[in-house]
Amino acid sequence: MKFEAIPKETIMTVPQKGREPQRVESEIRVDPLTRRTSRICHFMPPAWKKPDLDALVAKAGDWCPFCGDNAHQVTPCFPADLISEGRMRKGNMMIFPNLAPYDSVSAVALFGTHLHFIPMTDFTPSLIAETFAFCCEFFQRITAANHPEAVYHLINWNHMPPSGSSVIHPHLQVFSTSTAPLLMRQELDAAKVYFAQHGSVYWDDLVAAEQADGRRYLGKIGRSHWMTAFAPLGTAGDVMAVVENVRATLELTPADLADIAAGLACAMAAYDKMGLYSFNMGFFTSTADDETFRFHLLFSPRVYFNAVLGTPDTGALRNLYNESISIAFPEKISAMLKPDFNARK
């Protein structure tokens, strides 16, 4: 396992620091599997001032399409030959078609029609696990219907506006697709090449290497291994979870979902201490017959570079060159996350 980093150095004079040249170090990291690059630069303390969330929620307005009776009256329904009851319901949870779909089978899953706003640290492991399990029931029904899109089953989570969410009410983007998203497709292809070259599964080797190194490894919860990503996608780093011996979403057991939920709750608690309140989360999956892959997920906090101006954390490098920027080394982020993961032991 090769963890490749390309050091860079900028030399400048800074009026506030006299005439002596100042040296600013940065680094370009190469993902060991796909070879995509991530820049560790634009260094800032990993600490942010959290806004008044109550005021932010109030600003969104009183009417919400996902709240109470509204969710039963204004959200769309699946065709009867796919979901006979139109919308799937379980307690206060609900799954219905996405009015602005990302794919042929594209749905929204609500944690609860009664839960209009949940701060990041109020997501309990049980609530997360129950909602993920409900989504898996949806995937099972799509599979049972022999739908041609029942190949890759994905759960995406955009929480609060910095993440790209346009609705405060907590929800998941849930879809089944025969067309893997770009990065996942690159991983699927690269994993086959890695397996052919090394005779082993990349993520098994990654977990072993991260455990041995220790700087980015956060711990093991059940079958899930948690670590900060060597070449992160997110501004404040990424947390990755790899589940042992699982290739596809529908192979996850209830215990796996509970363990994943527990790890996510640890990550949320730790990032909350840095003043963060928004994130993206996504499943990366293959199919059950793919011996070269391991199911994993990424949890990536989102920030505003300038909260007053609403400056997003994606600029030209990410949007046009598809290269990410992180403002702190993953090893530093890992050290800040470890206390919350260790507290579970």
Which pLDDT score, from 0 to 100, does residue 41 have?
92
| Structure-token match 């701060």, residue found | 119
Beta strands at 304-306 and 311-312: parallel, antiparallel or unpaired: antiparallel
Q: Could you list the pLDDT tens digit for every one of the 345 residues in the chain?
A: 999 999 999 999 999 888 899 999 999 999 999 999 999 998 888 889 899 999 999 988 889 999 999 999 999 999 999 999 999 999 999 999 999 999 999 999 999 999 999 999 999 999 999 999 999 999 999 999 999 999 999 999 999 999 999 999 999 999 999 999 999 999 999 999 999 999 999 999 999 999 999 999 999 999 999 999 999 999 999 999 999 999 999 999 999 999 999 999 999 999 999 999 999 999 999 999 999 999 999 999 999 988 888 888 999 999 999 999 999 999 999 999 999 999 986
Domains of the chain: 47-314+328-345 (3.30.428.10)
SS3 at position 255: helix
The beta strand positions in the chain, using DSSP E, are 4-12, 22-30, 37-40, 88-90, 93-97, 105-110, 152-159, 171-177, 217-221, 224-228, 239-243, 279-284, 296-301, 304-306, 311-312, 324-326
d(CA 130, CA 253): 12
What phi and psi, each to the nearest 5 degrees, are found at residue 185?
-65, -40
Please state the pTM of the whole predicted model.
0.96
Which pLDDT score, from 0 to 100, does residue 47 have?
87
Which pLDDT score, from 0 to 100, does residue 345 have?
67
